[in-house]
Structure 1
Amino acid sequence: MSTNSRRQAVAAMQQQQAAEKRRKTILFSTVVTIAIVLIGGLIGLGIYLNSGDDENREVVNPETSTTDDYGLVLGDGPVTLDLYVDFQCPVCKQFESEYGEKLIEWVENEDVTLNYHILNFLDSNQNSEFSSRAGNAVINALETGDDIQFLEYAQDVFHNQPEEGSGKTLTNSQLITIAEDYDFGSEFEDGVNDEKYVGWIDESNDSALDRDDISGTPTLFINGEKVSSEEMADSEALIAQIESDIESAK
């Protein structure tokens, strides 16, 4: 192949890669936008459907450090991230696949303080209360493990998230099985089966829905500034921005 032909081949490959990146960005951005619109429509319904149960649920506060607005505090870094998720949210699963490994790296290296907020308004989508039960399981993982195990187990739960609209769910037994490799012990199993922190998640959900700047999940704030869905869709640029903030804060 001549030098000119090789240059043309390289240029064509670069154009194809750039087009693929644009396609993924547009797809993720579109999904995020649609999800937020749909979630906005579900908020009122979710409050209505869950309102009768909330009064009967005992509120047990996690022993781990939490913020005043129900964020589970992970890490101790100079840049503060507030992340709001619902474990039944398919776009949260996509967010996790894009950013999960970086969140683990930043928390482990004490580059960020990650306040992890668990919501459950998508419980209204089915009768299994998967959002609440999965969130409860993840909190129990933090209570019986550490910050990194919490994030890794959260990744595993998202990875096993039932397909949207399939009518399927994960039982508490299955949530325990997913955690087998972590050796959290019997305290974890008891907490999952007793749905120990579901009442606390109800309060976390209500706290988030009282805010005007949270209309769906995932929602991310960096040092108090909300990240738009378009910014979240471009993971490469957003990761670079956060790492720039980390360097500036050191």
Structure 2
Amino acid sequence: MSEKNHQGKRTARQRLAVEREKQKASERRRRTLIVAATVVCVLGLAAVIGLLAANSGKSSKSSTGPVVAPSGAQGKDSLAIPVGQDGAKSTLTVWEDFRCPACKAFEAVYRPTLRELTGSGKLRVEYHLVRLIDGNLGGTGSLRAANAAACAQDAGKFPAYHDVLFENQPAETDDAYADNNKLVQLAGKVSGLDTPAFTKCVKDGTHDGWVDKSHQAFQAGGFSGTPTVLLNGKDILKDRTMTPAKLKQMVEAADKG
């Protein structure tokens, strides 16, 4: 082997090593973002538990009206909004709050992978909407946004509107999503969603009782905070080595059987 060829191979190996280190560093930053943001949402659970204890002698009946599940909701008590094909061999269960910064961080990091896997029929995602931050900081933005997302599900526009809500998420202490007009305005970012039927659903709080029931199921499940993400029943965010690439490998392995 000539000295020139030897030098070329050594340089190529060095470039590869640098790229690998860059990739590792990028994945570390992503995991740190999710873990750090999750701490904020976990704090909300303590406030909710305290509120439940204070009201333990009161009726558990929803104060937000009848339970009206959105179109196409599935699972126990019709509390899950499904995205993806029914025949997928893997199911990702996601408990989210539209006011939760950690939920936004999770979506930002994992959304491209989730879209790829649901689009290929390898993964089915079941979204459960909760109002954890309302209990932590007060306000109704979590409830109002979740109801609006359920209204978008009625219109067959849930995935797009779900993404818009996270992309435009206000600061955690800013209860901007308590304003129904804001939620209707954001519908303008989703083709075909800004309709009189959607506006009425949002302003009437059609699915408020359903959101409350979903939140009660979250509490009954003993989950520690949002987002809670379960792949075939296993909490993947407890795995410190979890990355979108690792999630994809797990789903593809299950798909192959």
TM over 0.5: yes
Structure ID, larger Rg: 2
1:245 corresponds in structure 2 to 254
**Alignment CA distance shift 1:118-1:29 (3 Å):** closer
- Gapped regions of structure 1 (runs ≥ 5): none
Does structure 2 conserve the Cα–Cα contact (< 8 Å) formed by 1:33 and 1:229?
A: no
Map 1:87-102 onto structure 2 (within 5 A).
Answer: 87-102=98-113
- Gapped regions of structure 2 (runs ≥ 5): none
Does structure 1 conserve the Cα–Cα contact (< 8 Å) formed by 2:70 and 2:153?
A: no
SS of 1:202's partner is helix
Distance 1:18 1:105 in 2: 20
**Alignment CA distance shift 1:233-1:4 (3 Å):** closer
* Aligned with residue 115 of structure 2, among 88, 97, 104: 104
* Aligned with residue 201 of structure 1, among 211, 217, 238: 211
1:17 corresponds in structure 2 to 22
* Aligned with residue 64 of structure 1, among 52, 72, 88: 72
**What amino acid is the match of 2:221?**
R
Deviation at 1:226, TM superposition (A): 2.5
**Alignment CA distance shift 1:36-1:131 (3 Å):** closer
% same residue: 26
Moved more, 126-135 or 32-41: 32-41
SS of 2:99's partner is coil
* Aligned with residue 183 of structure 1, among 184, 192, 202: 192
TM-score using structure 2 length:
0.80
TM-score using structure 1 length:
0.82
Distance 2:254 2:36 in 1: 27
Deviation at 1:7, TM superposition (A): 4.6
Deviation at 1:82, TM superposition (A): 1.2
Distance 1:164 1:36 in 2: 10
Instruction: Report Cα offsets for 1:69-95 as digits up to 9, x if no partner.
Output: 521233312222211111111111011
Map 1:1-250 onto structure 2 (within 5 A).
Answer: 3=8, 6-7=11-12, 10=15, 13-14=18-19, 16-18=21-23, 20-28=25-33, 30-31=35-36, 34-35=39-40, 37-45=42-50, 47=52, 54-68=62-76, 70-75=79-84, 76=86, 77-145=88-156, 149-165=157-173, 167-170=174-177, 171-180=179-188, 181-184=190-193, 185-212=195-222, 214-231=223-240, 233-248=242-257
Deviation at 1:36, TM superposition (A): 5.5
